[in-house]
Structure 1
């Protein structure tokens, strides 16, 4: 007979002692007395007392499977070494029988006759009962600590566990705040409770406060979601008994107040009546476009009330700037802005050449597009023919229903993709000359266009000054990078030509 030995302990204390060696010695003596040749010994060290998912145990089972019919005996010291759950016990025992191996216990009579089966069932049930008792004692201990206001598990990020388990002690003190991470999470939650940030914006806020630097990795949406979904009550000083759902006041230092916790809950549920701050105030259309000429910060707008009524003005909001709190008359700044637009408006000669250049380029590219369109039209004709042939092959039985469906879907996907490519080449449907005429009329009087706008000042200003433009009181506007067409205008003004290509615009010139 051939067999294997499986030994197991469930705690580090036993691993350091003689339990494994003693078990193996008794198992080897058992095999020797019964003439069983030991092919392998599998030692499970420090595994859980309640799970059947054990590394060495699985290796032992796999050994039996791979050597099916060659292993006669699976030897353990005691039934509870084998499995602590009755269902697991008999399920795995059946597996062993399927592989040709019989379970043998050194210290207990188990086998296949009625008396031995009865004893085996009782022993397996006893092991399960013992495991259940241990589990209940563990649960009772955790409930006791919860009732004392102590979190018995690992705390969420922002707190440090006392690490009593490593010292072989039970946790009897609350989790302490992490010196660096606690204030960052705390500030983020307090800001969120004010309704100033969305969950997505919290990512940047946490990293801006230094969280990514401390953790060594960028903050992810899953991290923020876990804070709000799993740990929010803990941060508010609330512990929850997972068995009774009872809420208990924790004795750890909370990050947020109960009031802030409820505000966050309301925001997360979508029931918040918070008012979003409108950055685009129609009274101050140049806000965030005109920059302070001293510090570079965007100007903001304010209103003061006096005997003469309301006084609207722009000002720098940077407290460290020399111009902080010094008003710039709204009417004066906006008049200067209109004058600046008129000064930068392209001249008629430039617009005429620009229009001719674009039309020339459009015609050149149009030839390529038309050639592509013809190519795609031919492809569609071929694909339509293939599709028709697929239906014919289904009718004459060449394709099964499954084959027909697969080929039909494949060819139809190709047809759709090719039609999309074809539609992208149909540029002749656009009246490019009309569009250019409209564009020329629009940009030929920028000052008037800005004055006539009522809702789209910000978009217009971004088109002309994508990075904003600086302004100094009593000095006026400074230099600024402008949109593409205005940069071309500057080039034209300096060189009197459009020969210098910009971003791939290369006009064809005729003699």
Structure 2
């Protein structure tokens, strides 16, 4: 039966609006603020819904790439869960663009089936879904095209990133101690970020030189620096320490297993030297040390260093509870020892050690003589620098020839195992070349370097008691390692044994007329 136009319009008005859900997605959080961000997508989808008589019930955003499984997108999971919670409602799901749906052919088809199973209709601003065989064919072609574009874009990005890294520029997240800054002629360049860089330098050099015996000590050092970025619980994760210790960026070089790049000189300034980096790797792969206790030095300054005068085993320390208060003691726990279980008051033992440290102070005259001797040695070292420079240049040339030879062999090799062996050898040679190049730069020290080094060294040698008196745990442990070759042996009745002084203090003691029997340094 024929109906007038007014009758048709009345019927359309009487029909209730259909409930709609909007899904928006960008590939990263950085895209949220640009012109094609989540807000602009939502606006276009709302306009589309209004024009088609839909009532928007909810919006589900995602900030994740479209190449992966849609069930790994929080927004999509929430949307599907919303549909599952209201199975009797006929929803329409609106997308801004077909590429927001899925940029992988298999996941596209799976997601279509997921909506179909939930009775939801899909509408897109730039594509009309058609359930006919021809429509499904075209849709599949469009989905495959989106997948192709995604993979091509990924390949192009990877090629650009590799090319930039080959030019000496890091392209990933800046490690702690660096920050990115846009520099004319360079683009985004890693720059030293203070005070983080100084903290990282102190931690890495401290581990390389033995100031921190274990990675746990490095961890605790970083946690004592409030400027260092740590987790919400105030802790620094052990993995972060490991990442710092093995990061070539800190030595000024770029390595990437993903792109097959090894020991390329970076455009950024290094925080540590290549020599320091290699010392760190040697220590990491060398003999393991027992982890130091976190509370060392807080109550017992010589915990782990004081030994039993009878059996030479390390003394244990503890607090003994008395009637009114607790008392600190050292004690030997070796059952076969005559001093087993016999307590030594902490103050008595540590006071004896204090007296030994106070003797480690040579005379001013000796220091003047020592400085002159060191200056003579420094002058001789500068005289050798020219010959050393020529020698290092020859070594670099030899390494470059070896690398060139191996590259030629790789071009002719057909066995994957042989190629891998050549590539590994080239990586080793590149590292050797990097070390030699740095040695070449450092052959002749800059002006003023001598005064800087010698003054710091003599400051420590002049009066170790100042370090010990500071009660700083790290400085005290440094003193124990540098001034003594063995632990501090103490007998509960006879007192301390002759301490084993390290060579520098022993020599200074002999020059200044100190007692040669115990290695302590006397005063004039």
Structure 2 length normalisation: TM-score? 0.48
Structure 1 length normalisation: TM-score? 0.49
